[in-house]
Amino acid sequence: MMARVTLRNLAAHKIRLVLTAVAVILGVAFVAGTLIFTDSMNRQFDDMFSRIGQNVAVSVRATDVGGGGRPVPAAVVESVKKVDGVENVVGNVTGYAGVLDRDGEVAGAPAEQGVPKLGVNWADDAGFTMASGRAPRGPGEAALDTATAQDAGVGVGDSVRVVTSGPVQRMTVVGLIDTGDLMGASVTAFDTATAQRLLLRPGYFTDLQMESAGPSESKLRDRVAAVLPDGFEAITGEQLREETKSEVAQVMGFFRTFMLVFALISVFVGAFIIFNTFSMLVAQRTRELALLRAIGAARPQVTRAVLGEAVAVGVVGSTLGLAAGAGLALALQGVAGLDARLVFTPTPVIWSYAVGIVVTVVSAYFPARRAAKIPPVAAMRDDVALPQRSLRIRVALGSLLTAAGAALIAAGLAGSGNGAVALVGGGAFGVFIGVTMLAPVISVPVVTVLGAPFARLLGAPGRLARRNALRNPRRTAATAAALMIGLALITVVNVLGATMRTSVDRQIEDQFGADYIVQAAGGAAAGASVGPDVAGTLAKVPGVEDASMIYGGRAEIAGEEVRYVAGDAAAVAHAVRLETVAGKAEFGPDGILVSEDNAKEHGWTVGSPVPVRFPDGQSATLRVSGIYAENAMVGGQIVDPRVYLAHAVKPQIDLVVVDAADAGAATTKAIEDALGAYPNLEVSDQAALKDEARAQVDTMVTALTTLLMMSVIIAAVGVVNTLALSVIERTREIGLLRAIGLGRRQLRRMIRVESIVIAVFGAVLGIGIGVAFGAALQNALADQGLTVLSVPVLTLCAYMAVAAVIGVLAALWPAWRAGRMDVLQAISTE
């Protein structure tokens, strides 16, 4: 019998439950889309790597620091070729190489996106295939991947300009390469001698790969390892493929976790909507449920009947959410510029239904329990209402959580480092839950204030709207809480973004002492480097007083692999306004400059020995010649350029710092003209550096805000749902209001104002909490660069206005439906 009751109720409340299912659909779509997209990418990478390394039995590479930066000399190649069982030894050369289009821009994805521009030497079994043309055979020839060639507007036989670490090379395109799919990476192939000259060093290879003439990979690896000099290792092809897959899996795992966090936020917000909807449905069916109890239905049966409706909503919502997730995965592939087919594994299906059904059932459980507690005698009363618990327990628990969260935040602010951030984060979550529990109490005074202007300006509709919002504080709070969560997180992101922008501006003002810096587009992270002749070219520009190179490298310093900079001590000190706290800003014989925190961590003072091991396998002991105050632009250590060049495989010039007699527009243009042969280089002054930093922060803030907007959309659906159910619940009341003279326009205005007040209440809570959390996180991260708190007031005011607009839009359908009610039928409704 109860199963039939459940089905009948589902059929009777289709519109209400469809709105509830929308919250499930959106949350599940986010989860499913993320899982389908990452599964598809992982399958694509597995296929790609199995093709690329399928003929490799053993690989030889450096074991030293710096990411294996030590090259393999040709002598090692000759030794390996003599090993029994080795055949087809191939030496690989890789580095940075970009292709210029007809406008002088580097073709392919922008360098800011971190997509690599690979230069390689062509090998017939490198895993790529020649789509058309032939392999490069001389110093003036190159082969391009088809996507880069298309973007550059060139084909086989055309002349193209290629950028490496030196001047632009003019080459002829002799072939087009099919790379499969390398996530948008550009590939430019040269013959081996040209690749070594442009990308590495003549007579050296990045690594070696070989096939087996019979022995197993492990046996061949052992034989090859026996002839290798110190600093090199041999690994099997299987190990090489697994390491490559593991690196990609780590990146995709981070992306999956990152996206799922936002998906779960959306699901969490949806839980508020589901809870609110079922609470209202149960309240509206109190008499019906009491009649079921009166004719013999037991409490567990009533509970199961309501939960059965929740299961049905969860199943439908999960199914539609899974389908929507596939569409989202396709959209993500389009944004990423990929065209691979989607891969459907059991994982997204299982998680979609698990999330959708479990969240719906758990959210509906407490309303279902309350429904079962309705006494049978209530069926005989006209004024029956669902019993409500006192707010005392809720207020006490909410106050306790808020106080505990505030205490954790205070403890975090008193500390430093990642532990302090964790305390602040945990405290923020506690305050979040506490405020949510206190929202019914908070709503009374806040809604009273927010509704006052409407009551004065709109008369009766405004007063009625305010009273309706105050009538059921629990419902108002639950509806507003969903919007509060999304806007609180968005506010935190925007406060931290504004703080980062202001802090970086202050940092550049305090630490940027040069007039200009010149760096390669994309920077060292993309593998780009400034050419060794650039500093000399700039020094000859009229008005330029000095141009100094600053190198970047990696080394094992005091047992820890770190990145360091190297450059003339005086030039670096001037360029970044280095503040020396001990010793002098000069190297002397075998000197090294270290930051104050670095010195404290290792117990160094001026004159202390510092053990260093470089990527070429050589070790040295440097001595601290100076200690400087923390400086984000140079990091923890600065090395003498002579020491760096003595151990560098191929010098990596990160930037050139330039001082001019007059850093005006004329000097800027003269510098840009002098760099005409280096179109991949960028000239920046202090203002340009600020703009670049702001653009990066803005991109991050926009991306995070966009992801969090899903929770706001779900919250808006919740406002629609609550108002729609409220209109149904107040059908008789609305009829009476119409009967005593309230016009349709006034009725719709009343519902719109009620919606606006609820939405703005959620926005006030969310923005207030977000600003407080943002300030707490800024304080906790002050020692990591966030030194200046900045609150984007105009942006937050815009969000408040958006919340009001959400209220207006959410009220359109409920208000329209209320206005169309027949007055006599509404009055006669029980």
The model's pLDDT over 625-662, given as tens digits with 9 standing for 90+, comes to 999 998 888 888 999 999 998 888 778 888 888 888 88
β-strands 169-178, 141-145 pairing = parallel
User: Model confidence over 157-197: pLDDT tens digits?
Assistant: 999 989 887 778 899 999 998 876 555 678 899 999 999 99
Q: Would residue 394 count as lying in a domain?
A: no
pLDDT confidence tier of residue 605, bands split at 50, 70 and 90: very high
Q: Would residue 405 count as lying in a domain?
A: no
Question: Same domain for 249 and 225?
Answer: no
For range 390-419, the mean pLDDT: 77
Q: Would residue 584 count as lying in a domain?
A: yes
DSSP result, 436-452? HHHHHHHHHHHHHHHHH
Q: pLDDT value at position 829?
A: 64
Domain span holding position 24: 1-54+238-387
Single residue among 363, 387, 411 that ends a domain in this structure = 387
Question: Same domain for 143 and 68?
Answer: yes
**% of the chain at pLDDT higher than 70:** 87
Q: Would residue 423 count as lying in a domain?
A: no
Q: pLDDT value at position 577?
A: 87
CA distances 95 to 98, 165, 196, Å, are 10, 9, 9
Tell me the residue type at 581.
V
Question: Same domain for 664 and 697?
Answer: no
Please determine, for residue 205, whether its predicted confidence score (pLDDT) is greater than 90.
Answer: yes
Which residue has better confidence, 387 or 768? 768
Q: Would residue 629 count as lying in a domain?
A: yes
Q: Would residue 150 count as lying in a domain?
A: yes
Please determine, for residue 426, whether its predicted confidence score (pLDDT) is greater than 50.
Answer: yes
The SS3 call for residue 61 is strand
DSSP result, 98-155? EEE-TTSPBPSS-GGGT--EEEEE--TTSS-EEEEE----STTEEEEEHHHHHHHT--
Which residue has better confidence, 436 or 45? 436
Question: Same domain for 505 and 528?
Answer: no
Question: Same domain for 149 and 79?
Answer: yes
For range 388-397, the mean pLDDT: 72
Q: pLDDT value at position 384?
A: 46
333: part of which helix (H) or strand (E)? helix 299-336
Question: Same domain for 757 and 783?
Answer: yes
Question: Same domain for 619 and 709?
Answer: no
β-strands 619-628, 580-583 pairing = antiparallel
The SS3 call for residue 601 is helix
Measured distance CA(237)–CA(284) in Å, rounded: 67
User: Model confidence over 279-323: pLDDT tens digits?
Assistant: 777 766 666 666 666 666 677 777 777 788 788 888 888 898 888
Residue of 807, 717, 812, 209 lying closest to 451 (CA atoms):
807
Q: Would residue 413 count as lying in a domain?
A: no
Q: pLDDT value at position 377?
A: 59
Domains: count for the chain: 4
Q: Would residue 279 count as lying in a domain?
A: yes
pLDDT confidence tier of residue 328, bands split at 50, 70 and 90: confident
Question: Same domain for 227 and 242?
Answer: no
End-to-end CA distance of the chain: 25
For range 459-473, the mean pLDDT: 85
Single residue among 364, 387, 410 that ends a domain in this structure = 387
Question: Same domain for 210 and 277?
Answer: no
Q: pLDDT value at position 408?
A: 82
Question: Same domain for 498 and 528?
Answer: no
Query: Token pair of 252, please?
Result: 């995709």
Rounded CA Rg of the chain = 33
Measured distance CA(121)–CA(403) in Å, rounded: 64
Please determine, for residue 555, whether its predicted confidence score (pLDDT) is greater than 80.
Answer: yes
Question: Same domain for 330 and 298?
Answer: yes
Question: Same domain for 381 and 247?
Answer: yes
Measured distance CA(828)–CA(159) in Å, rounded: 85
Angle between helices 299-336 and 286-294 (to 10 degrees): 140
Single residue among 237, 260, 285 that ends a domain in this structure = 237
